Amino acid sequence: MEKPNIESINNELTPEGLGLKFNSMDFNDFVRYLRQTVKDSPSVRFTIVADWINIDKARAAKALFDQYASRFQINSITIKATRQQYQEDVNAFQSGVIWQEI
């Protein structure tokens, strides 16, 4: 199997790249991805910027931050959402999950 090149790894680790990965993966698969990335590069820090998908994804972002922020060095998680989407579950945007209004 061919190893990914440095440029593709760096693109994956941009805040938006991580947001796309977070939105496209199952929660546990994303946690495994972060765990492996930290194992391969212990000094990495994560900032995740994701588009709104649904309430469950917003709650998953909160759970990810609450459970793994310090272990996986997650600086912040931002979810881009409309005010209406934000108001569907204001509690999901607590403790480290930032709402960016669109």
| Whether pLDDT at 5 is above 60 | no
C-alpha to C-alpha distance for 10 and 90, rounded to whole angstroms: 32
- Sorted by sequence, the CB contacts under 8 Å of residue 60 that are 6+ apart come out as 27
| Region 9-18 average pLDDT | 79
Degrees to nearest 5, angle at CA 29 with 81 and 65: 50
Q: Contact at 8 Å (CB) between 36 and 66?
A: no
pLDDT, position 94? 80
Task: Quick: pLDDT tens for 40-86.
Answer: 999 999 999 999 999 999 999 999 999 999 999 999 999 999 999 99
Q: Which two three-digit tokens encode residue 73?
A: 């060095």
Average pLDDT on 12-28 reads 94
Chain centroid to CA 80: 12
Q: State how far the Cα of 102 lies from the Cα of 99, in Å rounded to an integer.
A: 9
pLDDT at residue 89 is higher than 80: yes
* Token output for 4: 């990914």
